[in-house]
Each structure stands twice: as C-alpha cells, then as structure tokens.
Amino acid sequence: MWLFFDPMFYVFTSPALLLMLWAQVKVKSSFAHGMRVPSNLSGAAAARYILDQTGCHDVGVEETHGQLSDHYDPRAHVLRLSQDVYHTRSAAAVGIAAHEAGHALQHARHYMPLVVRNAAVPAARFGPITFFILVIIGMLMSSDALIHLGLIAFGGVLCFELINLPVEFDASNRAKRILNEYNIVDQEGAVAVGNVLNAAAWTYVAATLQTLLTLLYYIWVLLGSNRD
C-alpha cells in the first residue's frame, strides 16, 4: 500500500517539504530583487570575462531556454545561461553566471568533490528505479537481501546529494570572491549576489534533507514490515 499512498510519508518528509517551499520563495524574491540592482556587465559578459581571466578560454558561453536553468556542461565544456541571466546587466545575472563559471573552474582544476560527484552520477540517476525494482522483487520473493540491496541503491542518491553540497557551496564562494576581486559588482551588488546564491544553496540543502527523510521512511516501512 505504501508504494501508492501513505500519509506517514508526508509526516516523515514534511520538514524537507517546508524547507524547500521556503527556499524556493527565497530564491524567487532574491532573484527578483537582484535583477533590479544594476551591473556594468551582463551575465554572459561577466561569465566570459571570468573564464578568460582564469585561463578557461576553451569554455564556451551559450544561451539556453527556461528560467533559472543555468548550468555548466562538463562534457561539452559549455556554460549555458538562461535568457534573463544571459542578457541582463544586473547583480543577480552576474552572480548566477559567476556561480556557473565557478563550476567550470572546479572542472579545470580537478576539484576533488566535483570529480567524486561526477563519478556518482549513475548512482543518482539509476538509484530510484533500481530501488523499486529490487524492493518489488524482494517483496514478491520474500527476500530480505533484495530489499536491503534496494535500500542501499536508494542510499546512493543520498550519497550523491551529500557530495553535491560542498561542490555547490564552493562554486558560490568562488563566485562571490571573483566578483569582488574583479570589481564586477559594487557593495550593493555584492549583497544582492550573496542573497541570491545563499537562497539557492538552501534548495540543495532541502533536496538533500528530502532524500534523507525519504530513505528513513522506506527503512521504517520495509524493515518494520519485515519485523512484523
């Protein structure tokens, strides 16, 4: 029954859901305010300047669709910025662009947590489906071993997200430091950048907490039912 609906799931995960809602509201409000704080450079120009100044000349900067869909693609060596960030001359735009440029710098300098995170991508991608397959088969066959393996597979998602936290925090710290060193933002802009990046960091914390509490729920349901 728990595979379809169980009110206890929301009891377990409600702290993470509330934190995520708060973080998303904070991101939107900080981003909206930061977009009204002017900057001399657009997000694209700031990203290009940072990459060139730090020796990442081979990393491209492209425009992509969506809102706040900004990301760095390590396979293509391309930094992709959403339309608003790419074109707008604002503190929020250069802050987000600098954060993504921070990921490019991590990649270029073989930042170890990023290397480990990239290696853990398959665990995050296939962990949930592997979990459900193993648990369903384990329940049908009354196999505790398969159920335990399923829980371990889901635990791989948590490991990925835990590793991802220092990667994201470091990218944000690099962005703040670089924007200050290169005088891309003034004091007001630095405050706006900090607010945007700090709010975004809470979304990663909330996602990690969500995965942790979900895993604890599954452990409670599956191991509890086995004891019964």
Residue 179, pLDDT score: 96
Catalytic residues: 100
Residue 224, pLDDT score: 78
Task: Check if the beta carbon of residue 68 is closer than 8 Å to that of residue 82.
Answer: yes
List % helix, strand, coil for the chain (3-state, nearest 5): 75, 5, 20
* Residue 53 amino acid letter: Q
Which H or E run contains 202? helix 187-227
Which residues partner with 38 through β-bridges? 90
pLDDT along the chain (228 residues), means of 10: 70 96 96 96 97 96 94 95 96 98 96 94 94 94 94 96 97 96 95 97 97 96 68
- Spatial neighbors of 155 by CB under 8 A, at least 6 apart, are 127, 215
If one counts every other C-beta atom within 10 angstroms of the C-beta of residue 22, the result is: 14
Residue 1, pLDDT score: 42
> How far, in Å, CA of 4 to CA of 221, rounded?
13
> How far, in Å, CA of 55 to CA of 161, rounded?
29
Strand order of the β-sheet with 60-64 is 60-64, 78-82, 71-73
> How far, in Å, CA of 143 to CA of 160, rounded?
27
182-186-188-191 Cα dihedral, nearest 10 degrees: 10
